């Protein structure tokens, strides 16, 4: 049980950082590349590159955490997924597999963190950001 709680906490940390920490890190790196000068293509490239690398690493870590959590909870391993356009029309639908296995704890944590991030953004945007239109 403590390992499952630790994995759930790590999942929440990585999931929240995908939406907040990694973009802020990318912007910070871009500001360091730009220095005191105006915006440059090098700074833009640095932001995009850092964001791509950190988010890709975060998603890979989430996949790894999900696999470890499934092992600890005794959930059967997900079968290898093929792209929808490569699947046979007679093949088993993903909905049927989801009904058999249900949603994992890790998937719930990621969905909750995404909903919380969108909710926080909406509250900030509508109540605290102010209007960018001329007054």
What is the per-residue pLDDT across 1-25, written as a single tens digit (0 to 9) for each?
A: 788 788 888 888 888 888 889 999 9
Query: In terms of pLDDT, which residue wins out, 48 or 67?
Result: 48
Nearest by Cα to 7 from 77, 86, 104:
104
Q: What does the pLDDT read at residue 89?
A: 59
Q: Helix, strand, coil shares of the chain as percentages rounded to 5?
A: 75, 0, 25
Enclosing H/E stretch for 105: helix 105-123
Query: In terms of pLDDT, which residue wins out, 26 or 68?
Result: 26
| Other beta carbons within 10 Å of 107 | 15
Distance CA 32, CA 43 (A): 8
Greatest CA span in the chain, whole angstroms?
A: 60
Q: What does the pLDDT read at residue 33?
A: 87
Distance CA 113, CA 20 (A): 11
Q: What does the pLDDT read at residue 22?
A: 93
What is the per-residue pLDDT across 71-112, written as a single tens digit (0 to 9) for each?
A: 877 776 656 666 666 666 565 555 555 565 667 777 888 888
Domain ranges of the chain: 2-75+98-128
């Amino acid at each position: 049980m403590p390992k499952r709680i630790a994995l759930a906490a790590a999942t929440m940390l990585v999931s929240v950082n995908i939406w907040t920490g990694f973009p802020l890190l990318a912007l910070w790196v871009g500001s360091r590349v730009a220095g005191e000068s105006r915006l440059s293509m090098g700074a833009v490239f640095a932001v995009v590159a850092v964001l791509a690398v950190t988010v890709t690493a975060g998603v890979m870590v989430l996949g790894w955490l999900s696999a470890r959590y499934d092992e600890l909870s005794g959930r059967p391993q997900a079968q290898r997924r093929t792209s929808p356009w490569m699947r046979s029309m007679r093949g088993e639908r993903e909905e049927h597999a989801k009904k058999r296995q249900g949603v994992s704890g890790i998937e719930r944590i990621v969905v909750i963190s995404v909903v919380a991030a969108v909710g926080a953004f909406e509250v900030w945007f509508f109540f605290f950001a102010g209007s960018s239109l001329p007054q």
